A and B are shown apart, each in its own frame.
Chain A
Amino acid sequence: MLSFTLRRVLSAVLVLFAISIAVFLIFFATPGVDPAARIAGRSASPATLAHVRAAFGLNRPIFIRYLLMMDHLFIKRDLTSYVNVGLKVVPQVLKAAPVTLALVSGAAVIWLVVGVLGGIVAAANRGKFIDPLVMFIGIAAVSVPAYWLGEVVNLITQSRLHSSLFWWVPSGGYVPFTQNPWQWALHLLFPWLTLAALYAGIYARVLRAELVNAMNEDYVRTARAKGLSERRILMKHALRCSLVSIVSLFGLDFGALIGGAALLTEVVFGLQGVGMLTYTSLQNLDLPVIMACVLYGSFFVVLANAVVDILYAFLDPRVRVA
Chain B
Amino acid sequence: MPDSPVLKVQDLKVTFATRQGPLRAVDGLSFDVAPKEVVGIVGESGSGKSVSMYSMLGLVRDANVSISGSVKFQGREILGLSDQEMQPIRGGEIGMIFQDPMTALTPVYTVGWQIIEQLRTHTDMTKAQARERAIELLGEVGIPDPRNRVDHYPHEFSGGMRQRVVIAMALSCNPKLLIADEPTTALDVTTQAQILDLMLKLQDTYNSSIVIITHDMGVIAEMAHKVVVMYAGRPAEIGPELDVVRNPRHPYTWGLLGAVPRVEARNDRLTTIRGNAVSPLEIPEGCAFADRCDYRMEICTKRPQLKGTSDHLDACWLSDEQRVSIRSKAAS
- Judging by beta carbons under 8 Å apart, are B166 and A127 in contact? no
- Judging by beta carbons under 8 Å apart, are A225 and B105 in contact? no
**Shortest Cβ gap from A321 to chain B (Å):** 8
A226-B123 Cα distance, complex, nearest whole Å? 12
**Shortest Cβ gap from B307 to chain A (Å):** 35
- Judging by beta carbons under 8 Å apart, are A225 and B90 in contact? yes
Q: Assess whether B23 is interfacial by the CB under 8 Å rule.
A: no
Q: Assess whether A217 is interfacial by the CB under 8 Å rule.
A: yes
Q: A127-B63, A227-B121 are in contact. List 13 more A-B contacts (CB 8 A).
A: A216-B61, A218-B98, A219-B103, A219-B105, A219-B106, A222-B96, A222-B106, A226-B121, A227-B88, A227-B92, A228-B87, A228-B117, A228-B121
Q: Assess whether A221 is interfacial by the CB under 8 Å rule.
A: yes
- Neighbouring B residues of A240 by C-beta, 8 Å: 106, 108-109
- Judging by beta carbons under 8 Å apart, are B118 and A226 in contact? yes
Q: Assess whether A229 is interfacial by the CB under 8 Å rule.
A: yes
Contact mask B38-66 → A, CB, 8 Å, 1/0? 00000000000000000001010101000
A236-B116 Cα distance, complex, nearest whole Å? 14
Q: Assess whether B155 is interfacial by the CB under 8 Å rule.
A: yes
A216-B89 Cα distance, complex, nearest whole Å? 21
- Neighbouring B residues of A315 by C-beta, 8 Å: 108
28 residue pairs of the A-B complex, CB under 8 angstroms, read: A216-B61, A218-B98, A218-B104, A219-B103, A219-B106, A221-B59, A221-B104, A222-B96, A222-B98, A222-B104, A222-B105, A222-B106, A224-B59, A225-B98, A226-B169, A227-B88, A227-B91, A227-B92, A227-B122, A228-B91, A229-B84, A229-B87, A240-B109, A241-B108, A315-B108, A316-B107, A317-B153, A318-B107
Q: A127-B63, A218-B100, A221-B59 are in contact. Are A227 and B106 (CB under 8 A)?
A: no
A53-B271 Cα distance, complex, nearest whole Å? 88
Among A149-170, those with CB < 8 Å from B are none
- Judging by beta carbons under 8 Å apart, are A318 and B103 in contact? no
Q: Assess whether B83 is interfacial by the CB under 8 Å rule.
A: yes
- Judging by beta carbons under 8 Å apart, are A219 and B107 in contact? yes
Contact mask A296-307 → B, CB, 8 Å, 1/0? 000000000000
Q: Which residue of A lies closest to B169 (CB)?
A: A226
- Neighbouring A residues of B98 by C-beta, 8 Å: 218, 221-222, 225
- Judging by beta carbons under 8 Å apart, are B57 and A225 in contact? yes
- Judging by beta carbons under 8 Å apart, are B59 and A316 in contact? no
- Judging by beta carbons under 8 Å apart, are B103 and A317 in contact? no
Among A233-258, those with CB < 8 Å from B are 236-237, 240-241
Q: How many A-B residue pairs have CB under 8 A?
A: 76
Q: Assess whether A230 is interfacial by the CB under 8 Å rule.
A: yes
Q: A218-B104, A237-B106, A240-B108 are in contact. Are A318 and B155 (CB under 8 A)?
A: yes
**Contact among B59, B63, B122, B155 with A317 in the assembled complex (CB-CB below 8 Å):** B155
Q: Assess whether A137 is interfacial by the CB under 8 Å rule.
A: no
- Neighbouring B residues of A230 by C-beta, 8 Å: 83
**Shortest Cβ gap from A141 to chain B (Å):** 29
**Shortest Cβ gap from A40 to chain B (Å):** 60
A51-B145 Cα distance, complex, nearest whole Å? 77
Q: Assess whether A223 is interfacial by the CB under 8 Å rule.
A: yes
Among B59-93, those with CB < 8 Å from A are 59, 61, 63, 83-84, 86-92
- Neighbouring A residues of B107 by C-beta, 8 Å: 219, 241, 316-318
- Neighbouring B residues of A225 by C-beta, 8 Å: 57, 59, 90-91, 95-96, 98, 170
A241-B96 Cα distance, complex, nearest whole Å? 22
Give the interface centre of A218, A222, A230 by most chain B CB atoms within 10 Å.
Answer: A222
**Shortest Cβ gap from A116 to chain B (Å):** 17
Among B100-141, those with CB < 8 Å from A are 100, 103-109, 117-118, 121-122
A240-B117 Cα distance, complex, nearest whole Å? 15
Q: Which residue of B lies closest to A314 (CB)?
A: B108
A290-B59 Cα distance, complex, nearest whole Å? 59
**Shortest Cβ gap from B125 to chain A (Å):** 15
- Neighbouring B residues of A223 by C-beta, 8 Å: 106
- Judging by beta carbons under 8 Å apart, are A226 and B117 in contact? yes
The 10 closest A-B pairs by CB, nearest first: A227-B91, A218-B103, A226-B91, A227-B90, A225-B96, A219-B106, A317-B153, A227-B87, A226-B118, A222-B104
